[in-house]
Structure 1
Amino acid sequence: MSDTMNIKPDARPTQNSAGRSAARRILIGVLVAAVAAYLSAMAYMYLFQRSFVFKPGGEVAAPVVAGVPEVSVDTIRMADGTEVIIWTAPPTMEDAPTVLFFHGNSGNLSDRADRFRHILDSGYGLYAPGYRGYPGSGGAPSEVAFVADGLEHFDRLSGGDAAVIVHGQSLGTGVATAVAAQRAGIDLLVLEAPYTATVDMAAEQYPWLPVSFLMKDPFVSRDRIGQVDAPVFIAHGTADEVIPVAHGEALFGFANDPRSLMIVEGADHGNLWSHGLWDEVQRQIDGRGQ
């Protein structure tokens, strides 16, 4: 019998190695949870992004209730059969232009009646369409639909000899710019509190998301405005907390001449008209006739 003893090593892990394994498992669990949360956030933003961009609401008030009794309300059928509401009124001043007005992203058409009152009081005509998916109109909102409808509205309006101003407010600046980039014969493109692109704004608000990959409706006005041959007038307020004034300034840099920029100190997103926006529009139109 041999005197040599076979001693087996202790198979149990040391306290240190057990601790490292536990820490590794916790770390992996945290990473998996973080990735799952990130992917869930991406999926949520992708699926529901249009509820952030388009915010229809309320009921369309009758023009007489809204303070513009001379406006006619019609429903027209677009090329694909979708019916949308439009508010129209002819010019009351000889040779005055008609304003094709694309409103902002919230509420409905009648919420802009105060702006329409200024336009009509100047003797100008009005053609203001409601958006698809908004009160008074059928269909669903999207950039593709808005731009296609905008082009069709312009073609309906520009069939005669009347001068046309294309005016975009906030979200509507993307529609107005797209229309002006694809159509000639526009007397003035007015951009009220514009953005360079909705995808740019989304990137600023959600820098942790790949918004350029996720965005369905990027409204890239910075790429389109260089194709606009019409005179461009941009107005923006320094106190705008919805679309920072830097967007208006940057978009102005992309525009062709003739172009003009009105930066209003202390004005916010919704009160540019009370700071002289419409007065400046009229001045530019009247100046072109001299």
Structure 2
Amino acid sequence: MKIIRRIIVGLGLVAVLAYLAGLVGLYVLQRQFQYDPTGRVYALSETTLTGVETISLPVSDGQVVAGWYAPPREPGKPVILYLRGNAGSYTFEHYRFEAFQEAGYGFLSFDYRGFPGSPGEISQTNILADSLIAYDWLAEKGAPIVIWGRSLGSGPASYLASERDARALILETPFLSAVSVARDRYWFFPVEWLMFDQFPVERWIEMVDEPTFVGHGTADETIGVSHGERVHQRLRNPGPLWIVQGAGHSDLWDRGIWAEAEPFIESAMAQ
């Protein structure tokens, strides 16, 4: 019996040590789990974009964030401020910007600090600050602004819409908060106490007056569809909730989100 007791105590100690090691590892490496700032920067010459300006926006630490800007091609059309996800460079999604231009819209997109096109440190503070700087720079151009946030970008997009005036807000595969996504995955750890960059969309979205479109897929394994549904439930000025059966986290563009979002934008512009 003593031997069995010692084995049980030993296994319990190993389990406790393993749990504590997991806590420490998750805390120290959390931003490596949360962000994937790798991938190449595409050149404008690799796209069909025209009339695009490569911009460098000064940020608070003396560094700059790099982006592409193009004004609307047609009078009265808005500029879409596109806030990208947590991986690669915004330039990878040039096909979206090409569609915006084809419809007569302008656009601005950029890499947050720490992503391929922009040096610096990745953090919630920097991502929000970079997004505010981009919005304020764009607002000086005078065209109406539509904010579009995809995945991670739903965080700064919601924050911007709570702090600035836009004509409409589009949230593609949004989360209720980044910490709630972490809780879905690491339910056995106290992530609320560990996580630096929590992006509380559920708090910001309740201060947003802009008409808001939410799109999500039922097979999204990165951010579950319930996040999009719960974000939509909290909207002050709800637009469509577009749920696509069987769509994953990166499928919505191919599934036709632009065909759904463009009429919503036109309706918001007409209000």
Same fold (TM over 0.5): yes
Match of 1:62 in 2: 43
TM-score (norm 2): 0.94
Question: 1:222 deviation in Å?
Answer: 1.1
Match of 1:266 in 2: 246
Match of 2:201 in 1: 221
Q: Between Structure 1 and Structure 2, how many residues are aligned?
A: 270
Q: Does 1:150 align with 2:150?
A: no
Counterpart CA distance in 1 for 2:32 and 2:238 is 36
Match of 2:213 in 1: 233
Match of 1:88 in 2: 69
Question: 1:256 deviation in Å?
Answer: 0.9
Contact 2:66–2:117 (CA<8 Å) still a contact in 1?
Answer: yes
Q: Match for 2:113 among 125, 132, 146?
A: 132
Counterpart CA distance in 2 for 1:159 and 1:125 is 14
Q: Give the counterpart letter for 1:139 in structure 2.
A: G
Question: 1:220 deviation in Å?
Answer: 1.4
Q: What does 1:39-58 align with in structure 2 at a 5 Å threshold? A: 39-58=20-39
Q: Give the counterpart letter for 1:108 in structure 2.
A: S
Match of 1:280 in 2: 260
> Which 5+ residue runs of structure 1 have no aligned equivalent?
1-18
Q: Match for 1:115 among 62, 71, 96?
A: 96
Counterpart CA distance in 2 for 1:286 and 1:166 is 14
Contact 1:66–1:110 (CA<8 Å) still a contact in 2?
Answer: no
Match of 1:180 in 2: 161
TM-score (norm 1): 0.88
Question: 1:240 deviation in Å?
Answer: 1.8
Note the alpha carbon deviations across 1:180-221, whole angstroms, 9 max, x for none: 1111x2001100111111111111111111111111111111
Q: CA RMSD, aligned part only?
A: 1.5
Q: Give the counterpart letter for 1:190 in structure 2.
A: I
Match of 2:122 in 1: 141
Counterpart CA distance in 1 for 2:53 and 2:142 is 21
Q: Give the counterpart letter for 2:197 in structure 1.
A: D
Counterpart CA distance in 1 for 2:142 and 2:91 is 28
Question: 1:175 deviation in Å?
Answer: 1.1
Return the index of the structure with the highest Cα Rg. 1
Counterpart CA distance in 2 for 1:207 and 1:78 is 36
Structure 1: 4+ residue segments shifted above 4 A: none
Note the alpha carbon deviations across 1:213-240, whole angstroms, 9 max, x for none: 1111111111210011111110111222
Match of 2:178 in 1: 198
**Partner SS state of residue 275, structure 1:** coil
